[in-house]
Amino acid sequence: MLELFLRSDARFMAAVGSFCAVAAVVGLLLHLLYFIHGFRVLQVKNMIVSHLVGLGLVLAETTSTFGPWKGLVAYVAISSAYFAALFLSIVTYRLFFHPLRHFPGPFPAKITKLHTPWIARHGKLHWEYAKLHQRYGEFVRVGPNEISIVNPDAYAKVHGPQSPCSKRDTGIFDSLHYNGQHRLVSITDNAQHRKRRRIWDKSLRAKALQGYELGTRRVMHDWLTRLDEHVGAPIDTTLYAKLIALDNMGHIGFSTDFGTVREGRQDRMMHLLEITFQNAAMMGQLSWPQALIMDLPKFGMQKEFERLAVRMVDDRIKNYPDDKHDMLSFLLADLMSENPKGLTNLNAVYADCQSILSGSVHTTSCVLGLVFYYLARDAHLRQRVYDEIAPLHGRTIPGEFTASDLGSIELLDSITNEAMRMHSPAPLNGPRSVPPEGIEVDGTFLPGGINVFTPSHVYNISDKYYKQPGEFIPDRWTTRQDLVIDTRAFQPFGFGHYDCVAKRLAKNVLRLAVAYTLWKYDFEFAPGEDGATFRNNEVFRVILKLGSLKCVFTKRSRA
């Protein structure tokens, strides 16, 4: 009996060993013949489903052949052999055969993208990148297929108008869509992007921007009314910077009054935006979870945010055409035309409206919050700004400021520029994929098929490009330009075809917000406030999220 048992057990082990060998070969070949050839992130759902089906069939076969208990043992052994061979091949390739194998970087990053979510767990990914570049130099391998570059030549070579690099096959942009239609920011085809961009450019021309100022002034007056109600009481300027940007986009984007400034609190939409950005930031460069989420039925906050954008569009279409002057009217005009140029179906409008809601709100609020901080801590700087804006009040419109008048004040823009240099609103920039033939950046060849990052935060705090980079000196952009060593390093609104489409709008809002505030009020840190919370609680959420800042506003005697 014992001899029979041992003989059958030996046959079982031999059979399992053979199956394990086959499974290991399959895992090895799958990596060598499939995974390392082409961009696979968008196929993640199919890969998961196919693996689940395959493993299920293996389990069914082993249990039917060997019985429940031995079948389960065989299944574990076979699946372990498959995954062991697959991952061993992946690690070996990435360490010894990958085109980026000669570039320096932290060892874990060469093996897995999970390194980035790990170092991003505290919300300081932009500072972690700065540490990496300080240790490894200008070219750092930050992922198995990713490299980060801090070299002024990279902006032109990677993002410039003549660059062959693309948003395609980066994972982040490829998966950012609504029912298959990409937002402007995530369109990877250059020709399609040009067509859509023309519609957006038309909605943000000088004449259109002038018409939007009426809505911006309404928000400014709501802000001043709110200050009137809280004279002498601590006000969280970071919060109100968000609310000002959100209400302004409500007027400019949709002719809608969100009213958050009057209420003094965030609404549901702002909360949805913050959670969305937070979740994306926590993933670091790990793009497949986002691709998987976008491929599955929507639920929770993602679905709620999309429904909000859809509802705003549908409500307008019910009464279209109307006499409203906003960004949505330009999008609908193209959609409803006999020959649409950039928006050929309703899903494209839904997608772009999500960009209107999210794109400019967070960047504008971030910069405005920074400007409030630097003005609050420097009475001399506030006085300088006041002295320059005062003569412009009522120049074009009685009792009001205009963005065109304020555009002549270099000091306003220099404060904004210096704030964006010290705290880049988009600290890492979006990735670009290198074409198959590769590119050369300042004498260093970058192989095709990799993804490249140009982290603006690291450029902006580097003493290679700025003298006294850790000091807030607005005059470096006007009267002390010797403090800027290389102007190519400063690209706050992006560079090339994919630069920020709303940069002029953002500048107008910032100028008007600062002018209206300082015209009627002086302000400073509230008692007990030293700015430490503001500085220390700054976290990377794709767009920089600022800490709270309590300020006290004092009404000017002549206002």
Q: Which of 46, 66, 96 is the last residue of a domain?
A: 96
Q: Please state, in angstroms and rounded to a whole number, the distance separating the CA atoms of residues 187 and 369.
A: 30
In a domain, residue 129? The reply is no
In a domain, residue 63? The reply is yes
Sequence letter at residue 184: L
In a domain, residue 540? The reply is yes
DSSP state of 148: E
CATH number at residue 216: 1.10.630.10
**pTM attached to this predicted model:** 0.93
Contacts 24+ apart (CB under 8 A), 150-153: 150/454, 150/455, 150/458, 150/459, 150/462, 151/441, 151/442, 152/459, 152/465, 152/486, 152/488, 152/489, 153/441, 153/442, 153/488
pLDDT at 319: 86
What backbone phi and psi angles, to 5 degrees, belong to 235?
A: -120, 135
pLDDT at 524: 97
Same domain for 276 and 405: yes
326 and 255 in contact (C-beta within 8 Å)?
A: yes
Q: And the tokens for 384?
A: 């300088």
Q: And the tokens for 39?
A: 């961009």
**CB neighbour list of residue 299: distance below 8 Å, 6 or more residues apart:** none
Q: Which of 96, 129, 163 is the last residue of a domain?
A: 96
Parent domain of 54? 2-96
453 and 148 in contact (C-beta within 8 Å)?
A: yes
pLDDT at 299: 57
Rounded alpha-carbon distances, angstroms, from residue 71 to 1, 13, 58, 543: 22, 11, 9, 51
pLDDT at 6: 41
Same domain for 392 and 257: yes
Q: Please state, in angstroms and rounded to a whole number, the distance separating the CA atoms of residues 547 and 535.
A: 6
In a domain, residue 53? The reply is yes
Positions at the binding site for heme: 500
Sequence letter at residue 261: V
Domain count for the chain: 2
In a domain, residue 107? The reply is no
Same domain for 188 and 71: no
291 and 174 in contact (C-beta within 8 Å)?
A: yes
Same domain for 434 and 299: yes
Q: Which of 80, 96, 112 is the last residue of a domain?
A: 96
Q: Please state, in angstroms and rounded to a whole number, the distance separating the CA atoms of residues 450 and 143.
A: 10
Characterise 166 by phi-psi region: left (phi > 0), alpha (psi -120 to 50), beta (else): beta
pLDDT at 39: 84
In a domain, residue 150? The reply is no
Q: What is the pLDDT along the chain (559 residues), one digit of tens a residue?
A: 434 444 557 888 888 889 899 999 999 999 999 999 888 887 888 899 999 999 999 999 999 988 889 889 999 999 999 999 999 999 999 999 999 999 999 999 999 999 999 999 899 999 999 999 999 999 999 999 999 999 999 999 999 989 999 999 888 887 778 888 999 988 988 889 999 999 999 999 999 999 999 999 999 999 999 999 999 999 999 999 999 999 999 999 999 999 999 999 877 777 777 777 777 767 766 777 777 776 666 656 677 888 888 999 999 999 888 889 999 999 999 999 989 999 999 999 999 998 888 866 789 999 999 999 999 999 999 999 999 999 999 999 999 999 999 999 999 999 999 999 999 999 998 899 999 999 999 999 999 999 999 999 999 999 999 999 999 999 999 999 999 999 999 999 988 889 999 999 999 999 999 999 999 999 999 999 999 999 999 998 888 999 999 999 999 986 4
Q: Please state, in angstroms and rounded to a whole number, the distance separating the CA atoms of residues 219 and 244.
A: 7
For strand 432-433 and strand 177-178, is the pairing parallel, antiparallel, or unpaired? unpaired
Altogether, the residues listed in the chain come to a count of: 559
Reported as a single tens digit per residue, the pLDDT across 243-262 is: 999 999 999 999 999 999 99
Same domain for 453 and 336: yes
Q: Please state, in angstroms and rounded to a whole number, the distance separating the CA atoms of residues 542 and 291.
A: 17
In a domain, residue 130? The reply is no
Same domain for 89 and 183: no
141 and 116 in contact (C-beta within 8 Å)?
A: no
In a domain, residue 61? The reply is yes
Positions at the binding site: 500
